[in-house]
Amino acid sequence: MKQAQSQQRSLLISPQVSTATVSAAFDTLGADYATIQVAVGTRAAATQSSSVTIAITEADAATGSYTTFNSELSKAVAIGTSAQVAVFHVNLDGTRKRFLRVLSTPGTVATADAVGIAAIGVLDPEIRPSGTTGQGNVVVVA
């Protein structure tokens, strides 16, 4: 079996333009590794700079209290004039809680806050990235 055939993909955040915080949780039961891919669009105002903070948190239940388990999984991504992908790899080695949540918080520049965003969660019992080449503009392996 090819590695990609064992992956389970979920659309966590459907493509949308938002000025508000957006989040989505997903169940990692049965997976050894998770990859969260967050597509970030361009900023609304070419003359303004802004960022979006993307954080991966965990909880024991889908509606539970989510906490940060690794500060490297909270990144401020600069919103530029071209779209980019932020990629987070999480080892679900038995020390992680069952549910992960991706949380996107836009910056504070009013004219640049509306940013297009989408997120996909990929669960795989065998994914072991050997590097970060070709995996996105912003890559975090934790």
**CA dihedral for 24, 28, 140, 95, sign (positive or negative):** positive
Distance, CA of 28 to CA of 124 (rounded, Å): 9
For the chain, domains (ranges, CATH) are 3-127 (2.60.120.1110)
Residue 22 CA to residue 46 CA, distance in Å, equals 23
Q: Are 41 and 115 in contact (CB under 8 A)?
A: yes
Long-range Cβ pairs for the range 109-112 (8 Å, 24+): 109/45, 109/48, 109/49, 109/50, 111/44, 111/45, 111/48, 112/43, 112/44, 112/45, 112/48, 112/49, 112/50, 112/79
Could you tell me which residues are beta bridge partners of residue 13? 119
Calpha distance 130→142 (Å, rounded): 13
pTM of the predicted protein model? 0.79
Are the beta carbons of 107 and 19 closer than 8 angstroms? Answer: no
- Cβ–Cβ under 8 Å, residues 73 and 90: yes
pLDDT tens-place values along the chain, 142 residues long:
456 667 888 999 999 887 788 999 999 998 999 999 999 888 766 666 678 889 999 999 999 899 999 999 998 888 877 888 999 999 998 889 999 999 998 876 665 557 788 999 999 875 455 555 666 666 666 5
